[in-house]
Amino acid sequence: MAKENTPLLDVRNLQVQFKTQDGIINAVNNVSFTVNRGETLGIVGESGSGKSVTSLAIMRLIPAPPGKIAGGQILFDGEDLVDYSEAEMRKIRGNRISMIFQDPMTSLNPVLRIGRQMTESLQLHMNMNAKQARDRAAELLAMVGIPAPDKRLDDYPHQFSGGMRQRVMIAMGLSCNPELLIADEPTTALDVTIQAQILELLNRLKDETGTAIIFITHDLGVVAGMTDRVMVMYAGRAVEQTSTQQLYDNPRMPYTMGLLDSIPRLDEGKGERLTPIRGLPPDMLEKAERCPFAPRCDFVQEVCWTTIPPLRSVEPNHQAACLFDITHEQRQSAASKKAAEEAAALESALESVIAEEHSA
Amino acid sequence: MIGFLIRRILAVIPVLFVVAFITFFLMKQAKGGPFDQEKEVNPATVKTLNARFGLDKPTWINTTAVSRASDQGVANPLTLTRAFLDSQFGNYIINAVQGDLGPTYSSKGTENVQDVIKRKFPISLRLGLLAAALAVLVGLPLGILGALKQNTIFDYISLIVATIGTSVPTFVTGLLLTLFLSRVFGVKPIKPIDAWDGYSTAYIAPACILGLNTMAYITRLTRSSMLEVKRQDYIRTARAKGMGDRVVITRHMLRNSMIPVVTILGPAVAGLVTGSFIIENIFRVPGIGDEFVGSIGSRDYSMIMGATLFFALLVALGNLTVDVVYGFLDPRIRSKS
Amino acid sequence: MATTSSEMSRPGQPGVEEFQRPVRSLWSDAWGRLRRNKLAMIGLFYIFFLSLVAIAAPVLAPHSPARPIGAELRERGAYRQAAWVESNNEKKTGLWTYPLGTDSGGGDVLSRLIYGTRVSLVVGFIPMIFTLLIGVTMGLVSGYAGGALDSWMMRFTDVVFALPDILFFIIVQTAFGKTTFGRTFNGLLLIFVSFSVVSWAGVARLVRGQVLSLKEKEFVEAAHAVGVKNNKILTRHILPNTLAPIIVAAAFIVPGAIVTEAVLSFLGIGIQPNTSPTNPFPTSWGQMIFEGKSGIDSQPWILISSAIAIASITIAFVALGDGLRDALDPRN
């Protein structure tokens, strides 16, 4: 069944639209990427950048209406999921592709016991009987580090803490040995210490099971230890794609640089300032033919206002959607120059105030 | 769970007491006593009747009885308290606690209120239960269908039925139905007295009208609660696990969406069983509601008091049942109590 | 300030202002949603239309709503049928002068219907205002004060909430109906008071719930932190945020009060008929239904017309209430 030479997941020119009262929103715009077997891909972006919608599209769980997959292909193991019927899709969901959601507090059914929620997919996809499914569920809970799993199966979700619930979600996601696990911001709703535990758990399970993972986050810091490759999304478009190492060493899209410079670092000198991205996230209703990042970019040129930059190869295995070859050093020096200018302007303004005070 | 139940049952007592107090207070404000209506009664008869029903005693507390007793050298605090409460209200409450709601005035004391309730309530109960059954059996599926087939013909039908059913008062629909039946089919929906023994066809028309409001309400609530549950994260989780529509609906949606519906079901059924004054009046059903309306006209205070307390008790029991069922449906509540 | 804005609007290089669409407030957003709800808009227009009818009743009504006397009565006859109904009895055959016929006292049904609009609207709106005043105050104080005061107030509210309401109205009517207080404004005052005295409990619970959750919100904490006084926090920060559910509740209280009046009048203990031709509230729809019930065979149009009038006004309010709830609930 598995075709070793094709990637596990090959998304081509995916297009997802939502109808709203103000017009059609292109939530995902011409996005293409691949995930190989056993590989972990990170998808990074701000809220509203289309990363979650992309993952729901792969599961074919876009709420329709108002949403719909307007174009493109989602080739999973060589077969296009866009053409699948709902019944065929159900055999994929939870079985070959499973998903973990952001908020563990609301993602579990409050009136059903954990055991019931875990065994239902085992019985559905693995043809287990009730006893087998229960034993397997207990095994899975033990695997994600929940103590006394046999007893906890009879508990309700509200009897678990947030971190524990996310462990249950992960156990549920892995229960049918999926080939692909989509983790949609699995740690965002959790405390920092719990976050680290969950990430560690995912890393361990990835090695143990060999499952490919799409790891969706808005936090570039989380991506570093988790993923093999990263795709950065902005305003529904893929704007940079490369290996995790490359992305940190040599980002080529000013947006990615901005994200990297927004992370506070302990190893930087005292004088260094954070240089965040200015301006506001993009308006998704905007239909202008221009670089979506142009209004916030430090290197914006005349041409940026009239062209949508395509994702182009900037070096082997590295694509970025910028018309120019801008490097991280350029942004940092520009930023520090700007910071110096601001400081100077502030100083001169202060001086004039002081001078006025003196003369008065 | 047991402790929770006991707490809830105890909480009913002050409510009933306050209802009794308010009713008694209001009744005392009314002009004219129960025996003033018959013009030919001579004052002596009124006096004996008043004495027989204890209406010559003070309204709230009997201080004269206490001082008389202490003058006679009674020191037992229990006896003194009893004397203190030897008033109209005090005696009423003491008897009511023992299940004696006193003689009705209109029967001149030959029949007790609890006997009238025993005789008439089964008719109202049958009517109310039939109406409730109709409300649930039609309302629930209609609401579920409306939510699942959003923006289809089912949805519109359930929405229209729900809007009209909740907003048009039952006495309007009831009267229009009787008018319609008699004009178009020549059917007299008003049945003779003996037609109401046991379950009979006589109940159909009044039960349909009585249940209409509740049915519409259940439809609305079920529909909106299903729609609410439909967009919860855990439904997306269930779909992401590959669960089909049938499983998602029956296993994951129904129980969650029943929680708000059950909340109103208890008081609604209690209301159907008791609140059918209007319907019983229109269809001449000889039930407890009809009796109550009659007792207002004849200023039969003991009947009014008794019926009010009985209704309040039923409503309280309805709410109590809800609390218990709620605990079964929602594990979060269960563990809290 | 001036420099920033000129910087923002540099030509050719649009700044931040390019992202700003016209800002829509919660209220204009809600109004937009309400306007698209056809059922609610029909309800709103119908209520508006009825208000005009109520105000202009003396102009619109073809006859006096009071019972005629002498020659006028002889001309009308008792129980004249609706205009299109033929009858063996010439005195009962319909006349277009009295489109919906006359009642047993010879009163014109259409005119009574027109005047009845007044009672229904007044009986809907005034108790609603009282109910909101009591309920919102109790809810705000109880929720904001917390502690023992809150727990006692809520216990009281629970008892009021548990009162069987129609029963209570009936008892109040029996107790006070014949007193001076009970006769004020044809008995309307008593209906206002008894309705408000019971109905506020639901509003109080609703508002208290809102206040409890708002109290924990950051903007209230912020107001506390900068030293805003308690009553100002209540009126400036908390009350406006509870407004949406209160408005929705109000839209449902009105039909409730209208139906209550109709039920009481139907039982013969609601508003009291006033025969004075100058009285602004001479009759109500509930009363007409009460009369129409006994004349159900001889003159069905008294019952039919008043039943339709009550049904349509309550449907209009419920449709508007539904529309408001959907429009003000940002989750939809």
pLDDT at position A266 over 60: yes
CATH of the domain at C318: 1.10.3720.10
pLDDT number for residue B190:
65
Asked if C171 reaches chain A (Cβ–Cβ under 8 Å), the answer is: no
Question: Considering chain C, what is the average pLDDT of its residues?
Answer: 78
Across A132-136, A293-297, B232-236, C312-316, least confident range: A293-297
Determine if residue B109 is left, alpha or beta; phi over 0 gives left, psi from -120 to 50 gives alpha, anything else beta.
left
Q: Which two tokens stand for residue A113?
A: 């016991």
d(CA B133, CA B125): 12
Whether residue C224 is contained in a domain is answered as yes
In a domain, C18, yes or no: no
Residue C41 located in a structural domain: no
Q: Is residue C97 part of a domain?
A: yes
pLDDT at A271 over 60: no
C332 pLDDT exceeds 60?
no
In this structure, what token pair is assigned to residue B331? Answer: 């594990």
Q: Searching chain A, which residue's CA lies closest to the CA of residue B232?
A: A106
Cβ atoms within 10 Å of A341's Cβ, excluding its own? 10
State how many domains chain C has: 1
In a domain, C40, yes or no: no
Q: Cβ of C14 under 8 Å from any chain A Cβ?
A: yes
* B25: enclosing H helix or E strand: helix B2-29
How large is the average pLDDT for residues A112-128?
A: 87
More confident position, C18 or A42: A42
Contact A237, A30 (CB under 8 A): yes
Contact A278, A208 (CB under 8 A): no
Give dist(CA C58, CA A295) in Å, integer. Answer: 65
Sign, CA dihedral B72-B75-B81-B84, equals positive
Task: Decide if B243 and A120 are in contact by the 8 Å CB cutoff.
Answer: yes
Chain A closest CA to B155's CA: distance in Å? 16
Residue C100 CA: distances (Å) to CA of C70, C221, C281? 21, 62, 20
Which of A66, A60, A99 lies closest to A83, judged by CA? A60
Point out the residue among A59, A91, A108 whose CB comes nearest to the CB of B234: A108
Please report, in angstroms and rounded to a whole number, the separation of the first and last CA atoms in chain B.
Answer: 7
Q: Enumerate residues 88 to 127 of chain B having a beta carbon within 8 A of any beta carbon in chain C.
A: none
Q: Say if the Cβ atoms of B172 and C175 lie within 8 Å.
A: no
Cβ A120–B241 below 8 Å, yes or no? yes
Q: What pTM value is reported for the model?
A: 0.77
Cα-trace Rg, chain B: 25
Q: Is the pLDDT of residue A45 over 90?
A: no
Full residue range of the structural domain in which residue C158 is found:
47-327
Q: Which residue has the higher pLDDT, A45 or C164?
A: A45
Are C307 and B176 a contacting pair at CB < 8 A? yes
Coarse DSSP helix, strand, coil percentages of chain A, rounded to the nearest 5 percent: 40, 20, 40
| Residue B204: how many other CB atoms lie within 10 Å | 12
Where residue A79 falls among pLDDT bands split at 50, 70, 90? confident
Summarised one tens digit per residue, pLDDT across range C113-161 is 888 888 888 888 899 999 999 999 998 888 888 888 888 888 888 778 7
Q: What's the pLDDT score for residue C5?
A: 38
**Of B286, B310, B268, B317, residue with least CA distance to B122:** B286
How sure is the predictor about A161, in pLDDT bands with cuts at 50, 70 and 90? confident
Instruction: Give residues with Cβ within 8 angstroms of A112, minimum separation 6.
Output: A156, B251, B252, B255
**B254: Cβ–Cβ under 8 A, 6 or more apart, which residues?**
B144
Residue A64, CA atoms < 13 Å, CB-side half-sphere: 12
Angle between helices B301-329 and B288-297 (to 10 degrees): 140
Q: Which residue has the tokens 């207070």?
A: B25
So where are chain B's domains? 113-336
Verify whether the Cβ–Cβ distance B237 to A109 is below 8 Å.
Answer: yes
Q: Which fold has domain B113-336?
A: MetI-like fold (1.10.3720)
Residues contacting residue B233 through CB under 8 Å, at least 6 positions apart: A101, A103, A106, A107
pLDDT in tens, chain B (337 residues): 677 778 778 878 888 888 888 888 887 776 555 555 555 566 777 677 667 666 777 777 777 777 777 777 777 777 777 777 777 888 788 878 877 777 777 766 678 888 888 888 888 888 888 898 988 899 888 888 888 887 788 888 888 888 888 888 888 888 888 888 777 777 766 666 677 777 777 788 888 888 888 888 888 888 888 888 888 888 988 888 888 888 888 888 888 888 888 878 877 888 787 767 788 888 888 888 888 878 877 777 778 888 888 888 888 888 788 777 777 777 776 655 4
Q: Which residue of C has its CA nearest to B317?
A: C162
Say if C15 is an interface residue toward chain A (CB within 8 Å): yes
Distance CA B114, CA B259 (A): 35
CB-based contact B22 C163, cutoff 8 Å: yes
Query: Which of C111, C287, C92 shows the shortest CA–CA distance to C191?
Result: C287
If phi > 0 it is left, if psi is from -120 to 50 it is alpha, else beta; for residue A267 that is alpha
What is the rounded distance in angstroms from the CA atom of residue B216 to the CA atom of residue C29? 30
Is B176 in contact with C296 (Cβ distance < 8 A)? no
Tens of pLDDT, residues C218-232: 888 888 888 888 888
**Comparing C-alpha atoms, which of A213, A207, A187 is closest to residue A198?**
A187
What mean pLDDT do residues C64-73 have? 66
Rounded CA-CA distance B71/C35 in Å is 78
The per-residue pLDDT for range C257-284, each reduced to its tens digit, is 888 888 888 877 777 766 666 777 777 8
Section A286-310 average pLDDT? 81
Give the Cα separation of B102 and B109 in Å (integer).
8
Among A160-164, A199-203, A229-233, A262-266, which stretch is predicted with the lowest mean pLDDT?
A262-266
Residues 6+ positions from A335 with CB-CB distance below 8 Å: A261, A275, A298
Residue B333 forms contact with A (CB below 8 Å)? no
Q: How many whole angstroms separate alpha carbon B20 and alpha carbon B95?
A: 13
CA distances from C66 to A74, B302, C17, C92 (A): 78, 39, 66, 20
Q: Which residues of A touch chain B, with CB atoms under 8 Å apart?
A: 59, 61, 63, 87, 90-95, 98-99, 101, 103, 106-112, 120-121, 124-125, 156, 158-159, 169, 172
Q: Is 60 exceeded by the pLDDT of residue C2?
A: no
Average pLDDT over residues A173-178: 86
Cα B104 from Cα B98, distance rounded (Å): 17
Contacts of residue B97, Cβ cutoff 8 Å, sequence gap at least 6:
none
Omega within 30 of 0 (cis) for the link into B189? no
Q: Is A359 exposed, middle or buried (0-12, 13-18, 19+ CB in 10 A)?
A: exposed
pLDDT computed for residue A231 by the predictor: 92
**Cα–Cα distance for residue pair B294/B304, rounded to 1 Å:** 9
> Is C164 within 8 Å of B315 when comparing Cβ atoms?
yes
With H, G, I as helix, E, B as strand and everything else as coil, classify residue A67. Answer: strand
Token pair listed for B216 = 């519409």
Q: Is the pLDDT of residue C45 over 90?
A: yes
Q: What are C73-114's pLDDT values in tens digits?
A: 666 666 777 666 666 666 666 666 667 777 776 677 788 888
Provide the edge-to-edge strand list for the sheet that holds A23-35.
A23-35, A9-20, A67-76, A79-80
**C12/A contact by beta carbon, under 8 A:** yes
Asked if C317's CB is within 8 angstroms of B308's CB, the reply is no
Mean pLDDT of A183-199: 82
Q: Pick from B241, B258, B336 the residue to mutate for testing the A interface (most A CBs within 10 Å).
A: B241
> 10 Å Cβ neighbour count for A177?
13
C80 exposure class (CB count in 10 Å sphere: 0-12, 13-18, 19+) = buried
Q: What is the ipTM of this complex?
A: 0.81
Q: Is the pLDDT of residue A348 over 70?
A: yes
* Cβ within 8 Å, pair A107-B234: yes
Task: Please tell me the predicted confidence (pLDDT) of residue C95.
Answer: 66
**Chain A touching partners, 3 or more CB pairs below 8 A:** B, C
Distance from CA of B77 to the nearest CA of C (A): 31
